[in-house]
Chains A and B, each alone.
Chain A
Amino acid sequence: MTAPRVALMVTCLGDVFFPEVGVSIVRLLRRLGATVEFPPGQTCCGLPLFNSGYHTEARAVAARTVALFRDADNVVVPSGSCAWMVKHEYPGLMQDPALKKDALRLAGRTYELSQFLVKVLGRRGFRATVGGRVTYHDSCHLLRGLHEAESPREILRNLEGVEFVELPGADECCGFGGSFAVRLPEVSSQILAKKLENVEATGAACLVACDAGCLMQMGGGLRRRRSRVRAVHLAELLDGGGA
């Protein structure tokens, strides 16, 4: 097999707040034999604009992104919600027929990280960067948008050096929801509080998720409570990354 070519869509949150996740992904993919590219000039997938109803603006952002990734063989995204945006919303947003065609092609080649690892590369066996107990939160867009519950779990279950335990209510929203988190901060925070109680009850040292938004929310909540649980992105747990 020739080395797969991967273009990384690091996303805005990944770029600005969690660059180490992107770094881990690049190193990991290279170790697995892929060539990794980073199309310069990328910003954000436009989901925050789209979800708040600003579709004209979202369309402009999406059109740029479609053009930037036009030549990519595979696009890997660290966040389920951004992958969902590209796969489910881009084609419908494009009005120009040529761009729509490109958007459809892009949709078919875009993967959230865990999906790419398991379903495209067929890799499930990794060694962990840390030890101890880990648990997993299903981010809403990955689970209900991309119908992906298994890939991350397969990786975690087989992950050498850690014990994976299920999180009660793993499929329930963490309360992030983009601008929802600041439009209705009290509601968002109460949803989060219930989520974190479940997390702490598992006795896990790490809470894993595959979405920067959820990690920002849950990680921010855990730090505020001075919890001993750390919120981490799946990529940071997989050895070969090592940010």
Chain B
Amino acid sequence: MSQADLSVPFRQRAGSAMKDAFLQEALTIATTKFIGLRREAFGDFPEGEKLRDVAREIKEATLQHLDRYLEQLIDNVERLGGKVHFASTAAEARGVILEIGRRAGARMAVKSKSMATEEIHLNEALEQAGITPVETDLGEYIIQLAHERPSHIIAPAIHKTKGQVADLFAKELRRTVAADPEVLTKIARGELREKFLQADLGITGANFAIADTGTIVLVTNEGNGRMVTSLPRVHVAVMGVEKVVPSMTDLMVFLAILAKSATGQKLSVYTTFVQGPRRAGELEGPEELHLVLLDNGRINQLAGPLREALYCLRCGACLNVCPVYRQIGGHAYGHTYPGPIGILLTAMLSGPASVKELAHASSLCGACAEACPVRIDIPRMLIELRREVDETKIAPRTERAVFKAFGRLLTRPVLYRLAARIARLLQRPFVRDGAIRSLPLFFGDWTRTRDLPAVAPRTFHERWKELAREAPP
């Protein structure tokens, strides 16, 4: 399954995902593995808990003076010879990048994994402008071959089994290959090698940018990020404005927890520091360096209910532990960012109406907030979104009527007790042995898979009088 069709209700999209046996296999294996690795990594790292608090404080302090840090970053990147562009919207960001490409006469762009470029739908725009985008991260390469979109923030092809990848390679590259990750990686590497040399443009995201040094930081595992930033003539990095960090010291705090949260590694294999374009006398590096700072709804949330979501490091831990994500995968969500944090980011980018269904795609179990390296209280913000959806009357009218009636019932104890008695009468035809196996209407959504306890023959309220008399004198 590729990106879901948003005209289909979310419940149905989720349902199809759960019927996809390959997806189910791939998801269970991958998320279970990630959960275990993360747990081990922090188990061996007692300072981790404290560092998570510190990281959270740094994020908050940075957001409080975001304008100042961004100015500092811009000054420093430009001092080093780079150029900084500010884009308020996705369209503006695409425009800036296409213009850079046009001026460079680019025909091909190699890319390293970047959710920011997914967010602005850059690949389609590049193609239309006659610049072929080539994804060089293995996972991204796979989904590009399959004409799909990432289904996880850090593991874009998490929804595919290795057998499916082998079939895909066989079909698209016309070679028969074994379903062995090592073999598959080797093939992809071979295919990509020439592209690195042909491409005029290297496009990356950025995990961090350091304000007081002007350094752009990329955290990767495959080393392709390093090639994308050094081989092509022009390097463009696209980064959400919230990712600026004040100093190298602050960066160290994030690096200490990022990879552990993401993949359970102590550090990722490559941490690439980009410090301006190539200077005279240097052998490596691009002639031009551009940093595109992307707002796209973020700055608005500095004073909005989703502010805390701007702490996000995009580690993916909240997806891996989310019981909903683990059943349905990323595509069913239907937007660039899946999983619990993805719901918040979707609301940030496209407004609360866009998550009217998704705001409820959570049991509020809190596993996300617990796993999040910067302890973002995702459940609280989901509730906040639900409130907004209710108060702005985006929620379905019948639903609102039911909840409001329920609210009235709960403030009127006599009515409430009467309702229990009425329910006890109404349920009679359905009760067997103290439970209900099947009910009509939307009650069936419960009873299809679960028995429902029957309203007790006597409620606690009705038993209390007698119970009160049992009290020892």
A residues contacting B by CB (< 8 A) are 10, 12, 14-20, 22-23, 26-27, 30, 35-36, 38, 40-44, 46, 48-58, 60-61, 64, 140-141, 144-145, 171-173, 175-193, 216-217, 219-221, 223-224
Asked whether any CB of chain A lies closer than 8 Å to the CB of B451, the reply is yes
Q: Which of chain B's residues has its CB closest to A172's CB?
A: B323
Distance from A188 Cβ to chain B, minimum over Cβ atoms (Å): 7
| Contact present for A10 and B362 (CB under 8 Å) | no
Task: Given A144-B369, A188-B363, decide whether A61 and B11 contact each other with a Cβ distance below 8 A.
Answer: no
| Contact present for B404 and A177 (CB under 8 Å) | no
| Contact present for B450 and A217 (CB under 8 Å) | yes
Q: Which of chain B's residues has its CB closest to A27's CB?
A: B470
B residues contacting A by CB (< 8 A) are 10-11, 14-15, 18, 323-324, 326-328, 359-367, 369-370, 383-391, 395, 403-404, 406-411, 413, 416, 420, 423, 435, 437, 442, 445-446, 448-456, 458-464, 467-468, 470-472
Consensus secondary structure, chain B interface: helix
Find chain A residues with CB under 8 A from B471 CB: 30, 35-36
Name 6 extra pairs, CB < 8 A, besides A26-B467, A144-B365: A12-B410, A14-B460, A22-B460, A40-B464, A54-B387, A177-B363
Q: How far is the CA of A219 from the CA of B433 in the complex (A)?
A: 14
| Contact present for A184 and B361 (CB under 8 Å) | yes
Find chain A residues with CB under 8 A from B366 CB: 140-141, 144-145
Task: Given A19-B458, A216-B453, decide whether A185 and B448 contact each other with a Cβ distance below 8 A.
Answer: yes
| Contact present for A54 and B456 (CB under 8 Å) | no
Q: How far is the CA of A240 from the CA of B387 in the complex (A)?
A: 43
| Contact present for A49 and B449 (CB under 8 Å) | no
Q: Which residue of the partner chain, among A22, A27, A53, A223, contacts B390 with CB atoms under 8 Å?
A: A53
Q: Which of chain A's residues has its CB closest to B388's CB?
A: A53
Consensus secondary structure, chain A interface: helix
| Contact present for A57 and B449 (CB under 8 Å) | no
| Contact present for A175 and B390 (CB under 8 Å) | no
The 7 sampled A-B contact pairs (Cβ below 8 Å) are A15-B460, A38-B467, A40-B461, A53-B359, A171-B367, A173-B323, A189-B450
Q: Which of chain B's residues has its CB closest to A171's CB?
A: B367
| Contact present for B365 and A177 (CB under 8 Å) | yes
Distance from B319 Cβ to chain A, minimum over Cβ atoms (Å): 15
Distance from B189 Cβ to chain A, minimum over Cβ atoms (Å): 37
User: Which 6 A-B pairs give the minimum distances between C-beta atoms?
Assistant: A177-B363, A57-B407, A53-B386, A220-B450, A173-B365, A144-B366
Q: How far is the CA of A64 from the CA of B412 in the complex (A)?
A: 10
| Contact present for A51 and B445 (CB under 8 Å) | no
Q: How far is the CA of A45 from the CA of B437 in the complex (A)?
A: 27
| Contact present for A42 and B413 (CB under 8 Å) | yes
Q: How far is the CA of A192 from the CA of B437 in the complex (A)?
A: 17
Q: Which of chain A's residues has its CB closest to B416's CB?
A: A43
Find chain B residues with CB under 8 A from A15 CB: 420, 459-461
Find chain B residues with CB under 8 A from A184 CB: 10-11, 14, 324, 360-361
